[in-house]
């Protein structure tokens, strides 16, 4: 103990690792602030020389341009702000569809990759390796230019299967038009949802009380579907009348028309991301040690039970964090929509930027929005991860 | 040791960023030593620019120091700005930049062409990446005021048109009811389309693309019933479609499109040089001065205005901050307006566009240069 103060006194501070550590970090932070303020100053001076001031006021102005795909009513007299909102909703819808389909496809691929069936295994392996090693931009342009735009013209549309129209103007699928009884049906659906929730909580309480493990999600889902079906059948007037697509003049009409841009973008995104998710799922399943499966079998669980009760819960812990990154990637990659002419958020902001010349404002707004999307997604996934992770006692 | 290294590396990074921020992005080339020099020059020169936003003469000085002119052009519209098979730029807008370089340096090849998209062009000009934007850009009030730049005199008068496949049977805008129209983003075309269709009460779907190649590519694939842009652009792009005869340009003009170069706000000298370059080209045609006869005209000129223009009499070049043979160099190295027009858009080219409004005022057109005195 006595020696230490002497030793301290003998070591000059520039050789004391603890002090150097702190100094290094302080220098780093100062450097970072310095660089940041330099960039900001440079931008401000640059803009001032051009007589341009930063302001978001222009967003209230009239946009003056039309957008091909909008989820709410928008016209050239709407504001820039509404145009941005159109893009934002388009990004969200593409991301939502992409994430759901990519997850389903990814899980199937991951399981198929581990299949003992040679053909399934090889096919899945080929798909994963092939898709994962492509550039997404190239992949999207391939889907747009080489697949969806190469479909026949409207006059020679392929009508298959059933009333589905495949043309280079879009994919026409049957859709429903709400009738007078639709509000009642909506009420029935709501009742079904409440009933399903009741089933969910009852089964969970039952499971906690007895230690048995009914397939909660299956029964919950089934309850909802049964209520919906019964409601559909007993209503005298059907709540939706089918609306089939047909050819009208230059374009398709009726039903729901999915534009080639939308289909190319979403299919490109989910096919690409599903390959990565497939690998994540495979890694998760492999991470559960063989002993776990053997022990489950020894206890008399069958194959499905083993998967549901033993393997999947443990695999999920490994799967969720990288899966989160894949979801984030998909959302961010949707900005490649600009390459295929789909009006997503980045595309619309680009148009606004061109028409107003407000580059700094629009780019920062877009960055902020993507950041918000990503943070919300990762907060949700972290919460889920927290719930399923191993509780160590 | 490692810590010291990291601190040193931070300082290096910081100084690199300083260098990168200070110097204009255009001022690349050469070894690393001149970059450090540029930092010092830029910091001192940008400081007074804030105080007195005139910035008079900065652009000329900078491009002279650099030894060339950086010109933002189109790379996808044959006849106006296009990269040919040899990787060389050609076109009407490209030749304008060559004329400007001839006026400044006495060498039409001292131009570095930067291809910019419709979307990038104004930012490229604002940020100083290019000295001048010569990319079939429409002059409009909003652009003139909000984008930190000024349009010089229009070099090409145009109007927006609509192209459809011949076999579609479409002959008027009304026939496009319910149709899809391909258009390029960030253009006045996009806004005019919305305006015209709204005023005619025609419902349509715009299909908007990032650049001319993808716009016309999608049109060629049959994605749209029609494609719209300036008529000159339609004529030029039609030449590169698979079968040019299978497409027809409708006989409607949807808007006025005065196309011309744009320069940054705050440097009036540069504005004058850019503007008088095109005026000199107008005058060249009016006075019959061509690249072939310019030497004989110069030696035998008796008309005072021609003598002033060619630098035989007076000091017109000096007033612009240029040498006195600035206009002579334009004619000698590039040619007058008519020569440039015929070279790129004349009857012998695949992108033939009749002169129309782009004729001298003496021929019923709009080309009218102020007097050189």
For position A103, which CATH number holds? 1.10.3720.10
Segment B27-42, tens digit of pLDDT: 343 444 444 444 443 3
Does some domain include residue A146? no
Q: Are B207 and B176 in contact (CB under 8 A)?
A: no
A107 and A187 assigned to the same domain:
no
In angstroms, the CA B126 to CA B143 distance is: 12
Same domain, A275 and A313: yes
Q: With respect to residue A249, please indicate whether it lies within any of the assigned structural domains.
A: no
Q: Give the confidence band of A212 by pLDDT, cuts at 50, 70, 90.
A: confident
First vs last Cα of chain B: how many Å apart? Answer: 70
Position A43 in a domain: yes
Q: Which of B117, B103, B99, B27 is nearest to B63 (CA)?
A: B27
Counting one residue from chain A and one from chain B, the pairs whose CB atoms sit within 8 A come to 149
Whether A109 contacts A281, CB under 8 Å: yes
Do residue A237 and residue A311 come from a single domain? no
Q: Do residue A303 and residue A351 come from a single domain?
A: yes
CA distance A312 to A319: 10
Q: Are residues A269 and A381 in the same domain?
A: yes
Q: What's chain A's average pLDDT? A: 89
A57 occurs within a structural domain: no
Q: Which burial class, exposed, middle or buried, applies to B86 when counting CB atoms under 10 A from its CB (0-12, 13-18, 19+)? A: exposed
Measured between its terminal Cα atoms, the distance across chain A in Å is: 39
Are the Cβ atoms of A355 and B186 closer than 8 angstroms? yes
Cα A128 to its chain centre, rounded Å, is 19
User: Is A306 in the same domain as A343?
Assistant: yes
pLDDT value of position A313: 87
> Which of A66, A150, A364 to mutate to probe the B interface, most B CBs <10 Å?
A66
Please give the pLDDT value at position B104.
96
Tell which B residues from 210 to 269 touch A, by Cβ distance under 8 Å.
Answer: 210, 214, 217-218, 221-223, 225, 264-266
Q: Of the candidates A21, A27, A168, which has its C-beta nearest B223's C-beta?
A: A168
User: Are residues A269 and A235 part of one domain?
Assistant: no
Q: Are residues A45 and A84 in the same domain?
A: no
User: Which of A62-76, A144-158, A210-224, B268-282: highest mean pLDDT?
Assistant: B268-282
Q: Are residues A297 and A384 in the same domain?
A: yes
Q: Which residues contact A253 (CB under 8 A, 6 or more apart)?
A: A245, A246, A247
With a pLDDT cut of 90, the percent of chain B lying above it is 66
Residue B263: closest C-alpha in chain A: A50
CB A148 within 8 A of CB A258: no
User: What burial class does residue B120 get, using C-beta atoms within 10 Å of its C-beta: 0-12 exposed, 13-18 middle, 19+ buried?
Assistant: buried
pLDDT at B257 over 50: yes
What domain range includes position A228?
A: 181-243
Alpha-carbon span A354 to A63, nearest angstrom: 11
The tens digit of pLDDT for each residue in A324-355 reads 999 999 999 999 999 999 999 999 998 898 88
Q: How far is CA A235 from the centre of its chain?
A: 36
Check residue A49 and give its pLDDT.
72
Across chain B, mean pLDDT equals: 85
The structure's pTM equals 0.77
Q: Are residues A343 and A291 in the same domain?
A: yes
Q: How far are the Cα atoms of A276, A294, B56, B149, B151 from residue B141, in angstroms, in the given order?
A: 50, 77, 23, 11, 10
Question: Does some domain include residue A105?
Answer: yes
Mean pLDDT of B183-199: 89
A12-28 pLDDT, tens per residue? 888 888 888 999 999 99
Which CATH number, 3.90.226.30, 3.40.50.1010, 3.40.190.10, 3.30.930.10, labels domain B161-254?
A: 3.40.190.10
Q: What is the per-residue pLDDT for B241?
A: 92
Are A129 and A269 in a shared domain? yes
* A143 within a domain of the structure (yes/no): no
Task: Say how many domains are in chain A.
Answer: 3
Boundary of a domain, candidates A211, A243, A275: A243
Out of B18, B53, B118, whose CB is closest to A354?
B118
Alpha helix stretches (DSSP H) within A211-311: 216-234, 260-287, 290-298, 303-305
Residue A283 token pair: 């890694």
Q: What DSSP character marks residue B370?
A: P
Residue B1 has pLDDT above 50, yes or no: no
Interface test with A, best of B121, B189, B205, B219 (most A CBs within 10 A): B205
CB distance A359–B123 less than 8 Å? yes
């Amino acid at each position: 103990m006595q020696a230490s103060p002497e030793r301290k006194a003998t070591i000059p501070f520039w050789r004391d690792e603890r002090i150097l550590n702190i100094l290094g970090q302080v220098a780093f932070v100062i450097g970072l602030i310095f660089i940041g303020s330099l960039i900001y100053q440079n931008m401000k001076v640059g803009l001032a020389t051009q007589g341009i001031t930063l302001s978001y006021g222009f967003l209230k102005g009239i946009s003056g341009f039309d957008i091909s795909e909008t989820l709410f009513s928008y016209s050239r007299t709407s504001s820039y702000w509404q145009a941005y909102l159109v893009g934002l909703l388009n990004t969200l819808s593409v991301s939502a569809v992409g994430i759901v389909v990519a997850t389903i496809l990814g899980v199937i691929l991951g399981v198929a990759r581990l299949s003992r069936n040679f053909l399934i295994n090889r096919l899945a392996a080929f798909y994963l390796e092939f898709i994962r090693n492509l550039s997404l931009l190239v992949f999207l342009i391939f889907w747009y230019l080489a697949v969806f735009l190469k479909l026949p013209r409207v006059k020679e549309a392929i009508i298959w299967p059933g009333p589905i129209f495949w043309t280079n103007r879009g994919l026409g699928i049957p859709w429903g038009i709400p009738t007078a009884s639709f509000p009642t049906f909506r009420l029935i659906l709501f009742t079904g949802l409440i009933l399903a929730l009741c089933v969910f909580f009852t089964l969970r309480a039952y499971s906690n009380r007895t230690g048995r493990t009914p397939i909660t999600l299956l029964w919950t889902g089934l309850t909802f579907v049964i209520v919906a079906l019964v409601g559909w059948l007993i209503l005298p007037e059907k709540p939706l009348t089918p609306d089939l697509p047909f050819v009208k003049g230059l374009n398709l009409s009726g039903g729901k028309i999915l534009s080639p841009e939308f289909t190319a973008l979403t299919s490109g995104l989910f096919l690409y991301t599903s390959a990565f998710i497939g690998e994540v799922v495979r890694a998760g399943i492999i991470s559960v040690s063989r002993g776990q499966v053997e022990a489950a079998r020894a206890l008399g669980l069958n194959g499905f039970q083993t998967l549901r009760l033993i393997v999947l819960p443990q695999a999920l812990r490994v799967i969720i964090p990288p899966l989160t990154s894949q979801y984030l990637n998909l959302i961010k990659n949707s900005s490649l929509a600009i390459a295929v002419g789909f009006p997503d958020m980045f595309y619309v902001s680009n148009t606004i930027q061109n028409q107003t010349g407000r580059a700094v404002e629009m780019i920062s707004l877009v960055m902020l929005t993507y950041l918000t999307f990503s943070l919300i997604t990762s907060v949700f996934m972290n919460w889920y991860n927290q719930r399923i992770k191993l509780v160590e006692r | 040791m490692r810590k010291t290294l990291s601190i040193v590396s931070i300082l290096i990074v910081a100084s690199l960023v300083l260098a990168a921020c200070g110097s204009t992005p255009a001022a690349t080339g050469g070894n690393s030593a001149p970059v450090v020099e540029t930092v010092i020059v830029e910091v001192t020169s940008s400081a007074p620019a804030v105080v007195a936003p005139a910035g008079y003469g900065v652009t000329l000085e900078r491009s002279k120091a650099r030894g060339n002119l950086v010109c933002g052009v189109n790379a996808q519209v044959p006849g106006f700005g296009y990269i040919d098979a040899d990787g060389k730029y050609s076109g009407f807008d490209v030749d304008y930049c060559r004329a400007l370089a001839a006026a400044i340096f006495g060498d039409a090849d001292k131009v570095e062409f930067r291809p910019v998209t419709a979307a990038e062009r104004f930012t490229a000009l604002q940020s100083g990446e290019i000295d001048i934007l010569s990319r079939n850009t429409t002059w409009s009030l909003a652009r003139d005021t909000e984008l930190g730049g000024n349009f010089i005199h229009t070099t090409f008068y145009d109007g927006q048109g609509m192209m459809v496949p011949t076999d579609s049977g479409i002959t008027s805008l009304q026939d496009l009811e319910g149709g899809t129209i391909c258009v390029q983003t960030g253009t006045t075309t996009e806004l005019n389309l919305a305006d015209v269709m709204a005023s005619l009460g025609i419902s349509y779907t715009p299909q908007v693309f990032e650049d001319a190649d993808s716009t016309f590519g999608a049109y060629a694939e049959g994605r749209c019933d029609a494609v719209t842009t300036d008529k000159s652009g339609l004529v030029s792009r039609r030449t590169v479609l698979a079968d040019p005869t299978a497409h027809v340009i409708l006989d409607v003009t949807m808007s006025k499109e005065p196309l011309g170069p744009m320069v940054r706000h705050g440097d009036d000298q540069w504005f004058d040089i850019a503007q008088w370059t095109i005026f000199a080209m107008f005058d060249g045609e009016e006075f019959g001065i061509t690249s072939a006869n310019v030497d004989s005209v110069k030696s035998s000129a008796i008309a005072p205005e021609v003598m002033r223009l060619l630098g035989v009499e007076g000091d017109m070049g000096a007033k612009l901050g240029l040498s006195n043979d600035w206009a002579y160099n334009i004619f000698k190295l590039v040619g007058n307006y008519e020569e440039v027009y015929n070279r790129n858009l004349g009857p012998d080219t695949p992108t033939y566009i009749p002169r129309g409004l782009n004729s001298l005022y003496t021929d019923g057109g709009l080309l009218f240069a102020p007097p050189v005195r």
